[in-house]
Structure 1
Amino acid sequence: MKLSSRFGAALLALQSIVPCAALAQSQLTYTTSWIGNSFGFGDGNWMQQDIQSINVAPNGTVYTNSPWDESGSEIASYQNGNKLAVAGNTHGWGAAGGDAVATNSTYLYAAMSIGNESNALVGADYPPQNQTWFGLTRRLLSNIATGAPFASGIGNSANATKDSFLRVEAVTAGVDAGIRGLAATDSEVYVADTYGNRIVVLDAQTMRQLRSWSVTAPGRIVIDTDTTLWVISGFDSASGASVVHYSNTGTLLAGTLPLPAGTIPTALAIAPSGQILVADNGPSQQILVFDKLTGGQTQLDTALGTRNGLFHTVEGTPGNWRFNGITGIGFDQSGNLYVGQNNEGPRPLGSATVGEGAVLESYGFASQQLNWRLYGLTFVDSGDFDPANPTSVYSGSKRFTLDYSQPTGKEWSYAGFTLNRFAYPDDPSFYLTRNVRGEPMMRRINGQPYLYTLDPYSHYLSVYRFDTAHGEVAIPSGLLAENPIPGTWPAGQPTSGEWMWRDSNGDGVVDANEITSNPSTGSTVGDGFWWVDSASNVWLATPVSGIREMPLQGLDSFGNPIYQYTGAKTFAMPSQFTRLGRVVYVAQTDTMYVTGFTSANPWNSTLWKEAGPLLARYDNWSSGNPSLVYTVALPWNTQSDPQVTTVGVAVAGNYIFVAELFTQKIDVYDARSGQAVGYMTPGASVGNTSGWVDVELGINAVERDNGEYDVLVEDDARAKILLYRWTPAS
């Protein structure tokens, strides 16, 4: 029987709102690439996400250390632009890396700590309750994954580094007593016990203490050609650190380096010429070179690197000799200079920062030519495409350019660092969770670029503008907060409830008189999810109080987007949901995509970052009478191992891309029908693996003019962003 066209249309409409089951999908045909790391992990290598210290061996092997790398590469070695080894056993089960590293001809000595996971770990390998040990691990230089035990060594009894840890300080849990400087000869090891205000000298073989002397908050140590020591004193001092000179027995010598005003010394080295090099993490971002004079005096000879580093002239533009946050310097026996950076500088006392992206590079000291450079630039950070140019990708604090004609993993180039701590020290990213600006949404207003970013938990939406005078730098413009920021910053925020800031005087500083509270909502916004549509209207999916739109009210005289609580519109939570997870609003078609939880699959506190098990599309959303087009049952199994849950949603062109949290899958659906199309997982170029998508906005997508869909996904494990390239079958 032939149906009438009218009846057939009605039947199709009914079918469209029948839930689309999460059918078994087939794997799509696509290419896996990546952005932000010199290695993709296809060969098992990755560049670590942070460098707090380096040591250079005579043969040019560079050893690094940092308290944390997500995949355990806190201590690693590199040579000629290649990664050689990971030390291991400095990650998890109470262990962490540290802030200093040194070598001699036999051993590697590296700062590390051992805790007890909030008193969950007990036994001789772990400190007593409510305590942390700080000290150093000794490893064989021939195999840094193998410990070099000694009579007084402790820890790690179940692995290859058994009894190779020396406890220097035992402190109350939460206190930072990290070792901030190490230097070694074949006979002695010099330890900067920053917390204890002393230099400790150890026998390099027995690890027994030989002597010690008092130094105020010592940091980096370098051994001069005459066996004397240069030491940074006053590490993390608000009044400024100095570089002092000692004999190897602790006698204070003449020759304190005459540092220029504003210098923040962070690393030391002795050049083949005998000159003393000091890395400056102040505004100059240079390496200062000092000559030795008679009578133990010194004078500044020159400075290596571009004045103001990466922020010189076109601010935020990377390049040769444009440094940013130097944490380590050193030379090999051929006179090559090595520079370790993290776009931030050494970790402040008490901070858990993991830097703003690691850079390790080598230059010919005489030729001034770049030898090689490695990048590990992103962590807890996703990417988004510039709406005006899909070859330009922004992360929270970086910009990359893409050349799609290049081979896999070579498409990207590092084009800009958008965070300027000198010009804008009040940038909200310095005060939010992890002190990392991440999870970007790139938008255009009147043709001009604007960057919106989320913290990992989507509690705060930061707004940034750009202008030609500041190059690549994103200028703090506004902040929308679901609740107060813990701590004393900013002055003027309410003690409870929702609030926002707009930089009404254009100076990038959060002034108390620029803050507006929203007492009418109190805490009802809960832990919601922010979304900014293509017209730069701001949406907030509250957990249970509906979906709110804050329309863009225009720009002020400084170009800051204007939002007002009084102009907000609130839409009731759709009846299909009991709690909301994500919203994606497509302004061009007035289409709203919503994910969340249902009575059949309810939310609980262990699922705090998940997007939810159900996705729904609504047309005519802003009409006040939206129509449900379909619902999709997303992959969901909280009883499996690993759990199958969803964490991120992106919509581009005709497709929806859903990131699973633990299982490394990107599920693809037809946005027109809700039908499953297929899935993508990491390919061989990235070792068939990625980390968790561990943030609430960890996926973005774009449809290019050639019909290819490019999908960016946070790789929480190895300091990069995955790039999936997929062209649907015609």
Structure 2
Amino acid sequence: MNFAYRLLAASAAASALLMPCAFAQTPLNYTTSWIGNSFGYGDGKWMQLDVEAIAVAPDGTVYTNAPWDESGSEIGVYARGDKLAVGGNTHGWGAAGGDAIAVNSTYVYAAMSIGNQNNTLRGSDYSPAGSTWFGVTRRLRSNVAKGAPFAGGIGNSANVTKNSFLRVTVAPSAADAAVRGLAATDTELYVADTYDNQIVVYDAQTMRQLRSWAVPSPGRIAIDSDSTLWVVQGMQSPTGPTVAHYDPNGAALPGAPALPAGTMPADVAIAPSGQLAIADDGAQQLILLYNKSASGQTQLASTLGTRDGIFHTVKGVPGDWRFNGITGIGFDQAGNLYVAQNGQGLRPFGSSLVGQGAVLEAYRGLTRASMWRLYGLTFVDAAAFDPASTANVYTGSKLFTLDYRQSAGKEWSYAAFTLDRFDYPDDPAFHMARGVRGSPMVRRFNGGLFLYTLDEYAHYLNVYRFSPSTEGDVAIPAGLFAQNPLPGNWPQGQPTYGEWMWRDANGDGRVNAAEITSNPSTGSTVGDGYWWVDAPGNVWLATPKSGIREMPLQGLDAHGNPQYTYASARMFPMPAPFTRIARIVYDAASDTMYVTGFTAAIPWDSTHWKEAGPVLARYDHWSAGTLTPTYTVSLPWNTTGNPQVTTVGIAVAGNYVFIAELYTQRIDVYDARNGQYVGAMTPGASVGNTSGWVDIYMGISAAQRDTGEYVVLVEDDARAKILMYRWTPGQ
């Protein structure tokens, strides 16, 4: 996916001008809400999707930074549980945010990079061809969106951050030379030039270099009250990072803390008590507090947090002091503690991962009581209902519970995190392009709960089982269907060509070569297909050109994993009138197949490779081989307008079919019984009358509540949330 800035602000009225009149004249009586973000954007605010670093001002204002936020809030400002500002100009046109941030009384210093977008951007504002600039943007604390220029500053000549970028290093475009640590006083700025294995010191006012010294792959930096430095170093060491002690000129000092086995120091900070605080993003998920003696020695005194964090006792349940992927810590002058997490930990070197959802929280001084907590939990995530209860909603890695009695945006509660990187490092999600599970399908059969997930473009289908008595809410890797080999070296034993699948035959949640079954006879004919899992657990694959295949469930193995075989598969030929299938939904209870795709009248073309197509068809008695449609529907489709009108997703619930449009923020509703158009839904005022594109293959789901109300969930990448529409027919 090209994560360019894709915020859509076109009004529903403007979009409607591109559609047949019928689509514009049938509004529905519905409400708009959302899941997964502390802010809905109705007030112009959203919690960013990732936080890689924080800096805390004495008054408790928290400044954040991350390499990417879909709507440009790489730099954010938060206080008292509210969002105050967005930094801006670290997003797009070659610019990106970064992995470190620091503040002094006047300025904010944030790591960022400036590239040239694959050599397409030229001029003094951009790095030369084949290279990227990595450095620091200096902003005013009084207005973090405005640059604080200096002699020798470069970049962004067309905006308010002109000449406020300090170039620390120039690296080849493929290299990760990101600045991984920053610390500042009113007179000096300390920069961890991780790529060049040094700490560089600049004048905080003029930004001229003062001195530097060698440090092996340095990371976070904390300045102590005596002006000495505590530095996380060895970030790329095969034995793991450590914490070292230096004087301001780079001389090594005694007192380097002895870290408990397994500690992965992610950040360092100085508590108002004078203690050295180290964030451990290892399996223990703790904050370690060290006392410092007059002789300069350190000794572990206590810890903050629950051992094992979110995976303690009942695994996956969030709560106070149950940390999950600590990326930053800091204290204010009152002794309050601020902790940033993203479910993943610090961004791995060389990756473009954006975490598993941002959490920013604060705890009060000596009492350690929770003060506030903010969430930005979803990105490139769809959501789906538990068949047993519309009060339970799963995304790829989260479980939310809903209380429909609450007001818009207040219905949801964060109930569980279902990924476990420590016990199940072989979870296929960690080896996919974005490191997330993406689009979920939740099924209950054979007495068990199962989660099936698609990557963003449906190349792979992951299978998970649950064992509440031993694993809590963690989804245990159980299987994987692959249309073609995964790029890279994972997993060992996958074929070099063709289709394959894995089942966790020994029940350890890890992929072993002996557990992989290949189906090379299908070759590339299944490539770019679309997976669907029906209620009884049968797996369907809509191939673009070869028809639809069913792989019936063959029961569960001794460990509770669903079993499938290529030998038991049944192939259905391409149904009329389609020439290319894009999406399917099969309702096993009624033996009804819904298909969207392309026809001879409007053929598929590569510029619309992710679309669901211009035609919807329903087929009754599908298992009997009835390939003549009960009805066909022409869906909204206009590829010559601006914006274009195309479709991207389908969901079926009760008596209705819901179609998500790609560019135009509209959900079209059809009567499933006869194909008649019913009306449309667009984002309401509670979410600022806007959303991002539905940008993945399975970005929409729906369910009917016992009350008769329909609830529709839609991906909204733009501001880290899931849109939720609530509609009761006839009201």
Give the TM-score normalised by structure 1.
0.97
Tell me if 1:91 matches 2:91.
yes
- 1:625 and 1:664 mapped to 2: Cα distance? 35
Partner of 1:596: 597
- Is the contact made by 2:576 and 2:629 (CA closer than 8 Å) also made in structure 1? no
What is the match of residue 496 of structure 1? Answer: 497
Question: 3-state DSSP class of the match of 1:578?
Answer: strand
Give the match for residue 703 of structure 1. 704
Which residue is equivalent to 1:613?
A: 614
Partner of 2:11 in structure 1?
none
Q: Which residue of 2 aligns with 1:727?
A: 728
Return the offset for 1:684.
0.2
| 2:625 aligned residue | 624
Rounded Cα–Cα distance in structure 1 between residues aligned with 2:716 and 2:540: 26
The 5 A counterparts of 1:23-422 are 23-422=23-422
Say whether the 8 Å CA contact 1:621–1:627 is kept in structure 2. Answer: no
SS in structure 1 opposite 2:607? helix
Query: How big is the shift at 1:446?
Result: 2.1
Q: How does 1:576-595 map to 2 (within 5 A)?
A: 576-595=577-596
Whether 1:537 and 2:541 are equivalent positions in the alignment is no
The answer to whether the 8 A contact 1:134-1:169 is kept is yes
Q: Which residue of 2 aligns with 1:8?
A: none
Q: What is the alpha-carbon distance in structure 1 between the residues aligned to residue 599 and residue 122 of structure 2?
A: 41
Using the alignment, how far apart are the partners of 1:79 and 1:704 within structure 2? 38
* 2: CA distance, partners of 1:302 / 1:103: 28
CA distance in 2 between counterparts of 1:699 and 1:237 reads 43
Q: Which residue identity is paired with 1:435?
A: G
2:378 and 2:720 in contact (8 A); partners too:
yes
Deviation at 1:494, TM superposition (A): 0.2
Query: Which one-letter code corresponds to 1:649 in the other structure?
Result: I
State the 1:626 CA deviation: 3.9
Structure 2 counterpart of 1:442: 442
SS of 1:430's equivalent in the other structure is: helix
Determine the structure 2 residue equivalent to 1:564: 565
Structure 1 position 604, deviation (Å): 1.3
Q: In structure 2, give the amino acid aligned to 1:415.
A: A
Distance 1:208 1:21, change over 3 A: closer
* Distance in 1 between residues matched to 2:236 and 2:550, nearest whole Å: 44
Could you tell me which runs of 5 or more consecutive residues in structure 2 were left unpaired when the two chains were aligned.
1-19
Counterpart of 2:478 in structure 1 is 477
Q: Give the gaps of 5 or more residues in structure 1.
A: 1-19
| Distance (Å, rounded) in 2 between the aligned partners of 1:255 and 1:608 | 58
Instruction: Please name the residue that 2:16 is paired with.
Output: none
SS of corresponding position for 2:575: coil
**Partner SS for 2:567:** helix
- Say whether the 8 Å CA contact 1:582–1:649 is kept in structure 2: yes
Amino acid of the structure 1 residue aligned with 2:188: E
Output the amino acid matched with 1:209. Answer: Q
Note the alpha carbon deviations across 1:496-535, whole angstroms, 9 max, x for none: 1000000000000000000000022011112000001111
1: CA distance, partners of 2:615 / 2:527: 20
Distance 1:222 1:488 in 2: 38
The answer as to whether partners of 1:218 and 1:234 remain within 8 angstroms in 2 is yes
Matched letter for residue 464 of structure 1: Y
Instruction: Quote the residue 2:549 is aligned against.
Output: 548
| Amino acid corresponding to residue 333 of structure 2 in structure 1 | Q
Could you tell me how far apart the structure 2 residues matched to 1:80 and 1:561 are?
47
Distance 2:686 2:626 in 1: 47
1:198 to partner: Cα distance: 0.2
CA contact under 8 A between 1:21 and 1:632: conserved in structure 2?
no
1:624 Cα offset (Å): 1.7
Distance in 1 (CA, whole Å) between partners of 2:279 and 2:616 is 52
Counterpart-to-counterpart distance in 2, 1:536 and 1:376: 32
What does the per-residue CA deviation read over 1:417-453, in whole Å, with 9 as the maximum and x for residues that have no partner? 0000001000000001211111000000123210000
Conserved 8 A contact 1:464-1:478:
yes
Aligned-residue offset at 1:236: 3.7
Instruction: Calculate the aligned-residue CA RMSD, in Å.
Output: 1.0
Q: More deviation in 618-627 or 711-720?
A: 618-627
Give, as a single letter, the amino acid of the residue that structure 1 aligns with 2:662.
L
- How far has the Cα of 1:21 moved from its partner? 11
Q: How far apart are residue 294 of structure 1 and its match?
A: 3.3
Kept in 1: contact 2:619–2:626 (CA 8 A): no
What amino acid is aligned across from residue 729 of structure 1 in structure 2? G
Identity %: 69
Please tell me the residue identity of whatever aligns with 2:588.
A
Distance in 1 between the 2:604 and 2:217 partners? 49
Q: Does 1:659 align with 2:660?
A: yes
CA distance in 2, matches of 1:538, 1:96: 40
Asked if structure 1 preserves the Cα contact closer than 8 Å seen for 2:70 and 2:718, the reply is yes
In 2: Cα distance, 1:410 partner to 1:59 partner: 29
Task: Assess if the C-alpha contact under 8 Å between 1:661 and 1:694 holds in 2.
Answer: yes
CA shift in 2, pair 1:135/1:303, >3 Å:
same
User: Residue 115 of structure 1 contacts residue 127 of structure 1 at CA under 8 Å; is this kept in 2?
Assistant: yes
Q: CA deviation at 1:25?
A: 4.6
How far 1:625 moved relative to its partner? 2.8
**What is the CA–CA distance in structure 2 between the aligned matches of 1:558 and 1:365, rounded to whole Å?**
47
Q: Which amino acid aligns with 1:113?
A: S
Q: CA deviation at 1:550?
A: 0.5
The answer to whether the 8 Å contact 1:21/1:633 transfers is no
Cα deviations by residue, 1:214-257 (Å, 9 ceiling, x for unpaired): 00000000000100000000114331111000001111000111
The CA distance in 2 between the partners of 1:515 and 1:418, in whole Å, is 24
State the partner residue of 2:514: 513
SS of the aligned residue for 2:420 comes to coil
Q: Which amino acid aligns with 2:564?
A: Y
Q: Does the CA contact (< 8 Å) of 1:537 and 1:551 recur in 2?
A: yes
Structure 2 counterpart of 1:669, one-letter code = Y
Report if aligned partners of 1:668, 1:678 keep a CA contact under 8 Å in 2: yes
| 3-state SS, counterpart of residue 449 of structure 1 | strand
Please give the per-residue CA displacement for 1:107-140, whole angstroms capped at 9, x wherever unaligned.
Answer: 0000000010111111100011111110000001
Structure 1 residue matching 2:410: 3-state secondary structure: coil
| Offset, 1:23 | 5.0
Distance 1:338 1:364 in 2: 9
Distance 2:698 2:574 in 1: 21
Aligned residues: 711
Q: In the aligned structure 2, how far is the partner of 1:417 from the partner of 1:22?
A: 43
* AA of the residue aligned to 1:621: W
Q: What is the alpha-carbon distance in structure 2 between the residues aligned to residue 605 and residue 508 of structure 1? A: 37
Match in the other structure for 1:522: 523
Q: Is the 8 A contact 1:403 1:412 kept in 2?
A: yes
**TM-score w.r.t. structure 2 length?**
0.96
| Whole-Å separation in 1 of the counterparts to 2:308 and 2:682 | 42
State the Cα distance separating 1:589 from its structure 2 match: 0.4
Counterparts of 2:461 and 2:236, CA distance in 1: 30
Asked whether the equivalents of residues 305 and 321 of structure 1 are also in contact (C-alpha less than 8 Å), the reply is yes
Any conservation in 2 of the 1:77–1:83 contact (CA below 8 Å)? yes
Q: Distance in 2 between matches of 1:258 and 1:295?
A: 16
Cα distance change of structure 1 residues 678 and 511 upon mapping to structure 2, 3 Å threshold: same
Query: Which residue of structure 2 aligns with residue 6 of structure 1?
Result: none
The whole-number CA distance in structure 1 between the counterparts of 2:126 and 2:294 is 51
Name the counterpart of 1:9.
Answer: none
Counterpart residue number, 1:13: none
Aligned partner of 2:109: which letter?
Answer: Y
2:148 alignment partner AA: A
In structure 2, what residue type is equivalent to 1:431? H
- For residues 328-358 of structure 1, the C-alpha deviation after alignment (integer angstroms, 9 at most, x for no partner) is 1001111100001101100011010000000
